[in-house]
Structure 1
């Protein structure tokens, strides 16, 4: 009987060891699948790509599916709270003629206020993603690939957006300043479409300088937008 008990205990230990080995192999397979997904579907693709895994793919990642959710959730949140609203802000602040500088000051003020809200939203999304990432426990081989994917899909887009914000804010400030100057000197300035007539040489000189500054600020926005487009498209 004692021999049988010892045999049973030995068999239990053996079964437990096999179970541990099986669990270890499962984790390795899940990690391999996740690394392959990040490498081939995110890093090897040009531009900003955050593909949605299929249910089968998520199952193959095991617990690492939650690691990808950190990246996916950031991009979804950024699209909803930053990218899409930014289009509305830019449209509201768009100027088609010098006359708009005088007549659409309320739109410009609203655009500037909206821009401040977008900056706050982006900071919140990035802070949330960074905090979630800091809690992740990853083997070194996965961490090396994940860090590159996180940089490409989270850190770099956030940094590029942050470059656009100051350029837009400066442009809105410049446009508002010109609008205020036009209003202040409206008795000396006549605007008809794109044509401007100024009766005071000193006012004309100051207005020309302000408009030149505004044009240079617009160039900074265009440069930031080109950088953003290059990041998204990968070219």
Structure 2
């Protein structure tokens, strides 16, 4: 009787363990399905850049996959705090209201250029951190396909579009500083009063006009990059 009882108990434990494994497997599948549905309907199907905050119920329904979404959410939060918000301060620092600013606000322009370098570094760091976390995720093929599209839309594309602004801004700051230096070197021939400029030397006037035209061209590149960013965010 004792031997039969041991066999019965062992068999019962094996059956129970099998049922437990099946239950765990079904739970993971349900969580994965819920997460895929969320990414599709709340991120991919929505126009523009949308990174909604998970509710407690959503976190619970996604299980461990909530941490997969955290990779996307953390990148966007980090980019907002370390790049987007400081960018507003950099642009305000380097804003030019008149041609007189080109010579009188050179320190502000230099500070803005230095700040821009820091923003570029911050964006590179945030993207590298997100890419590393993304590469380390273990995902089934059905989730990997949808998650990859969501990651491109909410991480890769915004980072790439944002980076397009940096070269144009660099060129604007460099051009503005060069014009300021040129005006300072030729201040005996260039008289600046607000938006008006008087130049007594034709050669100096020709060179100054060329530098100002180049500066305007770089400004157009910034406007184009900003328009592209706004279209991506709004989805239009």
What TM-score, normalized by structure 2, do the two folds share?
0.98
Q: Indicate the SS of the match to 1:95.
A: coil
Equivalent in the alignment of 1:191? 192
Could you tell me how far 1:9 is from its partner in structure 2?
A: 1.2
Equivalent in the alignment of 1:151? 152
Write the distance in 1 (CA, Å) between the matches of 2:58 and 2:34: 8
1:2-151 correspondence to structure 2 within 5 Å: 2-151=3-152
Could you tell me how far 1:10 is from its partner in structure 2?
A: 1.1
Could you tell me how far 1:4 is from its partner in structure 2?
A: 2.3
Write the distance in 1 (CA, Å) between the matches of 2:9 and 2:205: 100
Write the distance in 2 (CA, Å) between the matches of 1:225 and 1:135: 32
Write the distance in 1 (CA, Å) between the matches of 2:112 and 2:11: 74
Could you tell me how far 1:7 is from its partner in structure 2?
A: 1.6
Equivalent in the alignment of 1:214? 215
**Which whole-Å deviations, capped at 9, do the CAs of 1:128-157 have from their partners, x for residues lacking one?**
111111110000000000000000000001
Could you tell me how far 1:71 is from its partner in structure 2?
A: 0.5
What TM-score, normalized by structure 1, do the two folds share?
0.99
Could you tell me how far 1:8 is from its partner in structure 2?
A: 1.5
Could you tell me how far 1:39 is from its partner in structure 2?
A: 0.6
Write the distance in 2 (CA, Å) between the matches of 1:224 and 1:133: 27
Q: Indicate the SS of the match to 1:98.
A: coil
Aligned length: 235
Write the distance in 1 (CA, Å) between the matches of 2:5 and 2:204: 106
Write the distance in 2 (CA, Å) between the matches of 1:195 and 1:128: 49
Write the distance in 1 (CA, Å) between the matches of 2:183 and 2:93: 20
Q: Indicate the SS of the match to 2:211.
A: helix
Q: Indicate the SS of the match to 1:47.
A: coil
Write the distance in 2 (CA, Å) between the matches of 1:149 and 1:156: 10
